[in-house]
């Protein structure tokens, strides 16, 4: 952990790695950390609506237990006593897990997700569950019946928080939680990271188990950490990753600690700029920030190279056939019921899966394997491909077109089974965060984190606090 980071006076403003360091050194009590976060939640949550449920009393009780264990020399790991928020897809036995659906307001979990067990086994404290788009099927972060979290970067106009991990994005951006868990099927970690000014990791399929997480698409789903900086993301990723007998996708995928290589810098890495055609339709501020990021990496010693692709990155609409058909399989009982109170934007997305034939589904899966080979050939000798995470900063909710997905630059990473890191790389003229996406071949998360670390050591975009929650 980076011992150079100072401890702020308000404990809620400290990044997770600083909290972990101070708690382990017995200079800070987990009770004080939880109290600071709950105080901040009480102050800002009425407007932000990041949480579906806050486990205040239980979190404080867990903090008291952690404090006693640590003071008596019984710490169970380096993150003992550090709080975390969970997207409301992640099962906790005995707790309500709605999956973002008003129809499941009383749905009580009978199991605990593997990743939740891993965090709790490390002594981490669950603060509560965060809002999600219904069934996690949407990139804007809206939810008609359960509520749309308020993006804290604009205190006047409600803007998209990004989805589907909307509440996790808002909670971390507003410093209501030091970090949180999201899930990503077509960009659902990276989109809220982009719009909320966070760092978020979309891991390769099989790196982090999905058992005990309500599914959208078992082909494409992957959970991931959302935090303020690369160091926090790497620490939480280490806790989450590793084989799980309940998730066959993880079989044979050995965990790899990214921390030993993360601080090596980027000298010698070959990093591709996106093809010129991909710039069309991007906001001018987004492109300026993107170009500055490439220039900075070149100054830090990376070689910036060109890449040729036989497709546009936004062309992977075929992923929708997989997502919709698998979503319909899991949620068909509700979406087929015309009396069910479902989000009017989400129901047709799921219902579209009803019309995907077995032939079309299998043809899409075959195309996936072909496109993976094409991308692997294009990436030969290249360590990472850089794109903006989103073509624009967060737009006003009144301007959202639910027929359009904001996942132009993110969906291909899921379909091609790559990994990707999103991190802040500037601000628009209106003060909204902009975001860079670092895409790497599958199972090269350490490289993505290494590039992100180098950028954050040379910039301060990730340190800014949204003005409405100062």
* Residues recognised as catalytic: 87, 164, 188
**Largest pairwise CA distance in the chain:** 61
Residue with tokens 């350490």: 446
Q: What is the dihedral of CA 237, 243, 245, 248, to 10 degrees?
A: 100
Alpha-carbon torsion (257, 261, 265, 268), positive or negative: negative
**Counting Cβ atoms within 10 Å, is residue 410 exposed (0-12), middle (13-18) or buried (19+)?**
buried
For residue 41 the two structure tokens come to: 């939640």
CB atoms within 10 A of CB 426: 19
The strand order across the sheet containing 179-184 reads 51-54, 125-130, 83-87, 179-184, 222-227, 199-202, 419-427, 433-440, 384-388, 270-273, 303-305
Report the relative pairing of strands 125-130 and 83-87 from DSSP bridges.
parallel
> How many Å apart are CA 59 and CA 322, to the nearest integer?
38
């Amino acid at each position: 952990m980076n011992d150079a980071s100072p401890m702020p006076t308000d404990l809620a403003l400290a990044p997770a790695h600083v909290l972990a360091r101070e708690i382990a050194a017995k200079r800070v009590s987990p009770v004080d950390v939880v109290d600071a976060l709950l105080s901040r939640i009480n102050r800002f949550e009425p407007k932000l609506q990041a949480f579906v449920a806050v486990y205040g009393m239980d979190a404080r009780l867990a903090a008291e237990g952690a404090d006693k264990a640590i003071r008596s020399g019984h710490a169970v790991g380096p993150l003992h006593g550090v709080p975390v928020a969970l997207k409301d897809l992640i099962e906790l036995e005995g707790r309500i897990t709605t999956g973002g659906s008003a129809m499941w307001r009383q749905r009580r979990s009978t199991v605990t997700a593997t990743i939740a067990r891993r965090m709790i086994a490390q002594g981490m404290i669950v603060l509560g569950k965060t809002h999600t788009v219904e069934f996690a099927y949407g990139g804007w972060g809206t939810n008609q019946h359960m509520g749309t979290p308020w993006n804290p970067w604009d205190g006047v106009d409600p803007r998209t928080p990004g989805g589907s991990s909307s509440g996790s994005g808002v909670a971390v951006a507003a410093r209501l939680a030091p970090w949180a868990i999201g899930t990503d099927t077509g960009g659902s970690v990276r989109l809220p990271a982009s719009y909320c000014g966070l760092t978020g990791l979309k891991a390769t399929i099989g790196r982090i188990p999905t058992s005990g997480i309500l599914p959208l698409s078992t082909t494409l789903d992957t959970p991931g950490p959302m935090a303020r900086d690369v160091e926090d993301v790497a620490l939480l990723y280490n806790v989450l990753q590793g084989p799980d007998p309940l998730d066959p996708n993880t079989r044979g995928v050995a965990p790899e600690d990214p921390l030993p290589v993360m601080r090596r810098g980027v000298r010698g890495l070959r990093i591709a700029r996106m093809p010129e055609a991909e710039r069309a339709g991007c906001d001018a501020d987004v492109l300026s920030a993107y170009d500055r990021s490439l220039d900075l990496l070149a100054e830090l010693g990376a070689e910036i190279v060109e890449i040729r692709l036989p497709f546009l990155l936004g062309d992977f609409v075929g992923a929708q056939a997989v997502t919709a058909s698998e979503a319909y399989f899991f949620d068909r009982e509700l979406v087929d019921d015309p009396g069910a109170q479902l989000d009017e934007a989400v129901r047709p997305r799921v219902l579209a899966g009803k019309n995907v034939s077995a032939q079309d589904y299998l043809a899409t899966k075959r195309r996936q394997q072909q496109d993976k080979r094409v991308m692997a050939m294009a990436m030969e000798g290249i360590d990472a491909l850089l794109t903006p995470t989103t073509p624009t900063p967060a737009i006003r909710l009144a301007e959202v077109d639910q027929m359009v997905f904001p996942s132009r630059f993110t969906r291909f990473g899921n379909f091609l089974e790559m990994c990707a890191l999103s991190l802040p790389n500037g601000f628009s003229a209106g003060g909204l965060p902009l975001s860079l996406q670092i895409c790497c071949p599958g199972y090269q998360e350490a490289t993505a984190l290494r590039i992100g670390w180098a950028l954050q050591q040379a910039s301060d975009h990730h340190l800014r606090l949204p003005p409405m929650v100062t």
